[in-house]
Amino acid sequence: MYSDTSAWTNKDGTRRYKWKYQCGHYAKSKFGQCKKNAISAEWIEAEVIEYTKLLVRNQQFAEDIQSQIGQKVDVSEIDIEIQNYRKKLTKLERSKSNLEQDIDSIYDDDKNAERKRRDMNNRLNKIYEEIYSIEDQITDCEMRKASAEQNTLTKDNVYKMLLVFDKIFDKMNDADKRKLIESMILEVQLHPKETWEEGKNPIKEIKYAFPVSDEVMDALRENVASVETCVLLSKLGQ
């Protein structure tokens, strides 16, 4: 889903905004094939928030999240790559040093001195090119390693936030709430538009930006269905 904002100015000069979400495929296809199926941001966000609150209250989910915090990312393969590149670099540095000594040891009165220096300098240039290439590969590996480790820290922060989501979310302003929700959600699938009813959850499925086990999602769906049934019965009893 993609967010869509409409804005207008009231007669008193007040700037007003209205947010909606529309089908992501509709937006990507430049308004072909799929229908827009726009839905009020307030409605869908309220449902997503309640859905997420039910998720973070799930004991199994909390235990799963706790187990993820502090887990070290496996960068052993990258470390092996770096180690192998450093070995190659050591050999190249040794070859470079030996070749430079050979160049310095050429006697000026040697009738082939100029040619020898030229040939050796060509070989030296090739060694330098190999050294630069290896150094670039080492830098690339180190950047990949740092990125992987940084992602782990970022995930840790997300997991820690999820454990206190219920406590902090309602204290945030609307803009921060929207940013947080959008960062947590990869995809929201809705039931067909013709089935949308006031007071009924239009959400078919939510895909989060963090791992949620099938067991937890199944329990969440049952919980949502139970809540909707209770709401329906309470309305019938009025």
CA distances from 12 to 7, 9, 19, 149 (A): 15, 8, 21, 52
Could you list the pLDDT tens digit for every one of the 238 residues in the chain?
A: 445 555 557 777 776 655 555 554 444 445 444 454 566 666 677 778 888 888 888 888 888 877 777 777 788 899 999 999 999 999 999 999 999 999 999 888 888 888 999 999 999 999 999 999 999 999 999 999 888 877 776 677 777 877 788 788 888 888 888 788 877 888 877 777 666 665 566 777 788 877 788 887 777 777 655 444 333 333 434 4
Which among 18, 24, 17 has a CA at the least distance from the CA of 2? 24
Q: Give the integer Cα–Cα distance in Å for 197 and 195.
A: 6
Which pLDDT score is estimated for 22?
54
Sign of CA dihedral 226, 183, 146, 133: positive
Q: Give the integer Cα–Cα distance in Å for 152 and 226.
A: 36
27 CA to centre of own chain = 21
Which pLDDT score is estimated for 229?
38
Q: Are 3 and 19 in contact (CB under 8 A)?
A: yes
This model's pTM is above 0.75: no
**Domain ranges in the chain?**
1-37, 76-159
Return the half-sphere exposure (C-beta side, CA atoms, 13 A cut-off) of residue 119: 7
Residue 74 structure tokens = 């496996």
Helix (H, G, I), strand (E, B) or coil at 23: coil
Residue identified by tokens 């791992």 is 211
Which pLDDT score is estimated for 223?
63
